[in-house]
Amino acid sequence: MERIPILKMGDVLLVTIQVDMHDQLALALQDDLTEKISHTGARGVLIDISAVEVVDSFMGRMIANIAAMARILDAQTVLVGMQPAVAITLVELGLTLPGVRTALNVERGMALLLAEVGSPSRSLLGEADGDGQG
């Protein structure tokens, strides 16, 4: 069975959706993604939908579900690369994607996540260095 690959880049997991989502694939993606968040301790999830030309309510619900699951696992989700026509369709369908933030492209989404999440290990090290008691 085909699976959607999840790429780890630092504290962020990147998912690129290129194929039509159906039930099985969506469930597999949810399983894989939650597993990978738990396993890697990722703090952010970037979902790129630049190749998606049609979004229906199923896809909208799947993205909202993934974002909700990620949030419970302490990871934030940013949806990037949405085509203009898809944005129009989403609003016309009344799908507001609650709890999902969006960015124009992967670079901006990554910047958004890094600004929010930061690099925990580095900030901890920074505090230890800067605020030492010695």
Q: Which residues bind its own copies (CB under 8 A)?
A: 2-5, 7-10, 14, 16, 18-19, 48, 50-51, 81, 105-107, 110
The nearest distance, CB 79 to its own copies, in angstroms, is: 14
Q: Which is nearer to its own copies, 14 or 64 (CB)?
A: 14
Burial class (CB within 10 angstroms; exposed 0-12, middle 13-18, buried 19+) of 130: exposed
Q: Which of 75, 86, 82, 133 is nearest to 106 (CA)?
A: 82
Query: 43 with 31: CB under 8 angstroms?
Result: no
Give the separation between CA 85 and CA 89, rounded to whole angstroms.
6
The nearest distance, CB 25 to its own copies, in angstroms, is: 11
Give the separation between CA 44 and CA 41, rounded to whole angstroms.
9
By DSSP bridging, strand 6-9 and strand 44-48 are unpaired
The nearest distance, CB 93 to its own copies, in angstroms, is: 22
Give the separation between CA 126 and CA 98, rounded to whole angstroms.
34
Q: Which is nearer to its own copies, 53 or 116 (CB)?
A: 53
The nearest distance, CB 46 to its own copies, in angstroms, is: 9
Q: Which is nearer to its own copies, 44 or 81 (CB)?
A: 81
Q: Which is nearer to its own copies, 16 or 76 (CB)?
A: 16
